[in-house]
Amino acid sequence: MPAKDYKICPALFCAYIAKTSKRNPNLMLEDRREITEQEILALIDWYVCKRASEGKCKGFTMKSHIEKGKTVDVTLIDTEEEKDEADS
């Protein structure tokens, strides 16, 4: 099955990489794998670092797709340890 046939499908308690039904695109088929929390966090880290290295910004804010009236803020911040090392 080509990778283009798979989608990221958020569910109630998990997110999956799954093949979806052609008749009902909102239905996941049995051909799926749960995306681990570590994989999700690694993607967020990768995305913020990529944008920072491109000089665009050190984070981003977006409207929450789950919690109405809230925003999600992700920022790349220097830790105290790294600030101390840079000052030395």
Tens-place pLDDT, residues 3-51:
888 999 998 899 999 999 999 988 999 999 999 999 999 999 998 988 8
DSSP character string of the chain: --GGGEEEEE-SS-EEEEEE-SS-TTSEEEEEEEEPHHHHHHHHHHHHHHHHHTTS-SEEEEE-SSSTT-EEEEE----HHHHHHHH-
The per-residue pLDDT for 82 is 64
Q: Where are the domains of the chain?
A: 3-35, 38-87
